[in-house]
Amino acid sequence: MDTAPNAMTNPRWPRAILHVDMDAFFVNVHLLDHPADRGIPLAVGGNPHGRGVVASASYEARQYGVRSAMPSGKALKLCPSLKFVRHDWSRIKVSSRLVMDLLSQYGPLEQMSVDEAYIDISDLAAQDQPERIALLIREQMRRETNLPASVGLATSKLVAKVASDFDKPEGCTIVSPGEEAAFLAPLPVRALHGVGPRTAEKLTLLHIETCAQLAHTPLLDLTRLFGKQAESLQQRAQGIDHRPVESERGQAKSISQERTFSDDVTEADFLLDKLAELVEIVAEALQRRGLVAHTVFVKFRWADFTTFTRQKSVETGIDQPADILRLAAGIFLDYWPEGQAMRLLGVGTSNLEAPHGRQLTLFGQAS
């Protein structure tokens, strides 16, 4: 491949976006301290004899059909030898920070969850081969953190994310410039960012199941079903996505994280665990910026796409996960009807400022 060390961009790679997704992250963090559990069907999650939910499953467990968001009892029926362990949030937090610190060395980083991030390596691509950088990051991750990762490289966030999921575990899928549409063509439409069960169900009305079919459907037909969203939907099927990697810069007005679920979720344990995971990311972002928050909000989206946010405020600013989670969990429990199917859950903070005081814990220690 030709390189252009003196140019602002690599002529073959006008943008080079990496998506790094840690493989079975909660499981592999557990294995760092419990190597005897390696190689067996393993799940991180709640009590299989209660209302627990699988948060993460080893690849040995996945061979039996066990997957995240599945009720733990069902998982145990699919795999009677399945071993359940609980989250070790302190270990997960430390491991996530190591991962993100490593990735941030390569370019602007947009953290999506404790185990997933985009990195814009366009500046490095001006002087080196992006393909080599992608392989280097995957190998460095294993070497320095002892945790496996899958990497996707493309000219956009959308295609990079699909690519990172293409060859798990520890895959490295590279979609060269100009190959985006061909790469996506045979894949199901559900592989695309923003295409959930409802959208996929609507597309089946037009006999659309693959990205190629979506890309070549007359726009007028799509517009009848999706209105103004039709053009964006078709562009995604062609691999067109101009969203930038949004690294943290300047004074933020709010800091938030949200997660859209591949399947609608009704289990409280899973949703509360996910809420805690999102809170960890938000709290770390506050602390990195030296900010505290006076308002915590939770975003809800039901299966029918009903979407709303609710918030609570405190007089003294907070930046600790436990304090943010206490407010967020209270909001969640107040406004989530038990059993209500959730498509998306988000948590965020606003009314940010440099700290003048700290919220006190129950025992009087600064939090």
* Catalytic annotation, residues: 116
Rounded-to-integer distance, Cα 215 and Cα 182, Å? 11
Cα–Cα–Cα angle for 236, 238, 240, nearest 5°?
Answer: 60
Rounded CA separation 219/216 (Å)? 8
How far apart CA 130 and CA 13 sit, in angstroms, is: 8
First to last CA, the chain: 53
Give the C-alpha distances (Å, rounded to integers) separating 174 from 111, 152, 161, 167, 178.
21, 6, 11, 11, 12
- Six-digit token string for 334: 């107040």
Q: Which helix or strand (DSSP H or E) is residue 171 part of?
A: none
Q: Return the sign of the alpha-carbon dihedral for residues 303, 339, 310, 350.
A: negative
* Per-residue exposure over 279-308, b if at least 16 CB sit within 10 Å of its own CB, e if not: bbbbbbbbeebebbbbbbbbbbbbbeeeee
CA dist 229 → 85, 116, 199, 207, 222 (Å):
42, 27, 11, 18, 9
